[in-house]
Amino acid sequence: MFQISKNNIKLIRGDTGEVELNLTLDDEEKTVVEPEAYEAVFTLKKNVDDIAFIMQKPFVDGKITFSHEDTNLLPYGVYTYDVQVKVLEDGSIHTIGQHSFVILADVTRE
């Protein structure tokens, strides 16, 4: 199971899923920002104040994919994540989040 609701993610430990980043400008037209115009990185931590991160994944063509290996060994529970976006044209940095990332227990273990 992989579910996103209001930017909060739920995933059964070891399952796979994909997140697509859809960016728009805050203008009247809500202009779409194409993936070639930015670099984005997903960062996962157990607690927002932790120095070390548990996982970092760059977006490729506006998407990240969670593989079985990404979460299979993590304890189930509530984590926190954000996405840092760097606009290539001007170098400005924008952070999306923080949001929750819930790893649910799985019954079948591989």
Chain-centroid distance of CA 82 in Å reads 6
Would the pLDDT of 54 be above 90?
Answer: yes
The total number of residues shown for the chain amounts to 110
- Mean pLDDT over all residues of the chain? 92
Question: Is residue 51 classed as helix, strand or coil in its secondary structure?
Answer: coil
Does a structural domain hold residue 110? no
Does a structural domain hold residue 109? no
Does a structural domain hold residue 72? yes
- Mean pLDDT over 72-98 rounds to 93
Q: How far apart are CA 102 and CA 44, in angstroms?
A: 11
Q: Provide the number of structural domains found in the chain.
A: 1
Residue span of the structural domain in which 99 resides: 2-104
Query: Is residue 18 within 8 Å of residue 55, measured between CB atoms?
Result: no
Give the pLDDT confidence of 6-40 residue by residue, as tens digits.
Answer: 999 999 999 999 999 998 877 777 888 889 999 99
- Mean pLDDT over 78-90 rounds to 94
Name residues whose C-beta falls within 8 Å of residue 69's C-beta, 6 or more positions apart in sequence: none
Provide the CATH number for the domain around residue 58: 2.60.40
Would the pLDDT of 5 be above 70?
Answer: yes
pLDDT of residue 110: 63
Would the pLDDT of 67 be above 90?
Answer: yes
How many helices (H) does the chain have, and how many strands (E)?
Answer: 1, 10
Does a structural domain hold residue 99? yes
Does a structural domain hold residue 7? yes
